[in-house]
A and B are shown apart, each in its own frame.
Chain A
Amino acid sequence: MLSILEIIGPTMIGPSSSHTLGAMRISRFSYNLINGIPSRVTFYLHGSFQDTYIGHGTWLALLAGVCGLRTDDPKVAKADEVAEELGLEYEYRPIDLGDVHPNTVKISTEKNGIHHEVIGSSIGGGRIRINSVDSVECDLDGEYPTLIVENQDVPGALESIISVLSFYGVNIAKMQLKRESVYLRKASAMIELDSSISQEILERIRKMDVVNSALYVNSIMEE
């Protein structure tokens, strides 16, 4: 349930919780996914984001998020200068993502030659919904540290992944499972955790036979 602190707060950079704070949280999710600042980023803007991205400062908020700034850092208003100092190449393009929330953005990043793609919507009051990560569909709010696993669709696959988490004493808060393809025997799991996990745990999961790939995104919420 919503805390009163989320009602009388949070502190943020104006002007709009859905167009700046929410936008910034989506790009912060991208930043956490690649665990750092990308060398290149393209923001594909859909709907209201496309129409009002300058007048709402959404372009700066998006940029600030991938630069790893805090959501209440006054530098958000000068994120273009921050990005320039960091040597980050960035651009904005219009896109039609179909029947999604009007405030939706696709963020495509490149770091060390590796591409990642996040689609997220700012759904009001600074809250967000991540709709897909690297083309894997999901429904995440970014609040929990999240493990995104693509695994083989075979008996016991999930059990063995979860057993690694339980071995390290990590509790699971929520979980979403999906069969990606019967033919390719591919499934995906979005596992939201009560605590963050170390690189060691992530590597262990990545090396498992039943795991095709595993991504990890730390919580986007700030103390």
Chain B
Amino acid sequence: MNVNRFKELIDICEKTGEPLDKVVLHWEMLDSGLSPEKVVKKTEVLFDVMKESYEENRGKNLKTLVGLTGDNAKKMLDYLPFAFTGERVFQAVTIAVTIAESNASMKRIVACPTGGASGVVPGVLLTLEKYGTKREKLISSLIVAGAIGKVISLHASLSGAQHGCQAEIGSGTAMAAGAAVYAMDGTPQQVADAAALSLKSLMGLVCDPVGGFVEVPCVKRNAAGAALALLFADMARAGVKSVVPFDEVVDAMAKVGRMMPESLRETGKGGIADTPTAKNIVDVFSRKFKI
């Protein structure tokens, strides 16, 4: 089974009638030699760590390495009952920021797909769980998210240093949106549509962290990712299709990534990192800690 495109997974589902997560597990077995049982078990562990990361750091003022963020998730949790966007979206965004701030504070997280974008997928999955999705379904959705990320890694990249933030938050959002569709009993095609809509909306997003550190704007982009993922999951479930199929969007993202100048690929030299405020922050910090 020489699969490397998402369309091929959808075709197999349609021909065999097998659910998408089972097809992904077979792909994984043939590819990496791991049995489906083992992959499911390890995925469960990853899901549990995501949950722990949130529960242990929920509502806390966190001390991040550079100190540019750390108390935002707490503010958001306090504001949750008043959220105009609604409890579900704001809940997802709050979880995403909690985990992203935990990551910036050297806490244990799941790099799904990277440390910088680690809040998006748990933000969506843990919100789905809170509103009734069963654990088993969430695990199979996380496996589907893995397939979305794997296709991206095969044809583009998941690294901000390589293809900018579109490769990190963009990929995380595509994975979370696809997982959400799957958790809502959507079809494999709807999974692909939600992933495509996500990646298209974040196409060209640059990786421009202040000082190169995973704090500003990384943490808040996790919020954007979680909110967009739920939005596109609903749109795909409503029947909205991506005109350009997911696999082609991935190729387009890779092309955009290759065109991106180095200053916008995690070097801390362009974009937000190149503002007077950012430069000042870095100056003060590096005077304090220079070898």
Contacts from A to B (Cβ < 8 Å): 1-5, 7-18, 20-21, 45, 48, 50-57, 60, 72, 74, 76-77, 92-94, 124-126
Contacts and interface: CB of A to CB of B under 8 A. Distances in A.
Given A8-B175, A13-B108, 17 more contacts: A2-B32, A3-B32, A7-B149, A7-B158, A9-B42, A10-B110, A11-B46, A11-B110, A11-B111, A12-B108, A15-B116, A15-B213, A18-B161, A48-B267, A55-B65, A55-B66, A55-B212
B46 A9 contact: yes
A20 B31 CA distance: 28
Nearest to B159: A124
Given A45-B291, A76-B106, A5 B43 contact: yes
Given A55-B65, A74-B108, A8 B28 contact: no
Contacts of A1: 31-32
A43 B273 CA distance: 27
Contacts of B200: none
Nearest to B38: A5
Contacts of B94: none
Nearest to B52: A11
Interface string B24-59: 100010011010000100110110010000000000
Contact of B111 (A17, A50, A51): A17
Nearest to A223: B42
B121, B147, B215, B291, most chain A CB atoms within 10 A: B291
Contacts of A51: 212, 286
Contact of A72 (B108, B214, B286): B108
B106 A4 contact: no
Given A4-B150, A15-B214, A9 B110 contact: yes
A92, A125, A126, most chain B CB atoms within 10 A: A125
B146 A16 contact: no
Nearest to A53: B291
A9, A10, A72, A124, most chain B CB atoms within 10 A: A9
B133 interface: no
Given A9-B110, A11-B108, A52 B142 contact: no
B32 A8 contact: no
B169 to A, nearest CB: 14
B103 A15 contact: yes
A12 B109 contact: yes
Interface in B84-111: 102-111
B113 interface: yes
When A and B form their complex, which 3 residue pairs have the shortest distance between CB atoms, in order from nearest?
A4-B146, A14-B103, A77-B106
Given A8-B113, A8-B149, A10-B110, A52 B212 contact: yes
B111 A9 contact: yes
B82 interface: no
Contact of B145 (A8, A14, A48, A55): A8
B143 interface: yes
A158 B145 CA distance: 46
B113 A7 contact: yes
A4 B111 contact: no
Interface in B132-176: 142-143, 145-147, 149-150, 153-154, 158-159, 161-162, 175
A12 to B, nearest CB: 5
Nearest to B107: A14
10 contacts: A2-B154, A4-B147, A7-B153, A10-B111, A15-B116, A18-B159, A51-B212, A54-B285, A72-B108, A125-B158
A53 B212 CA distance: 10
B115 interface: yes
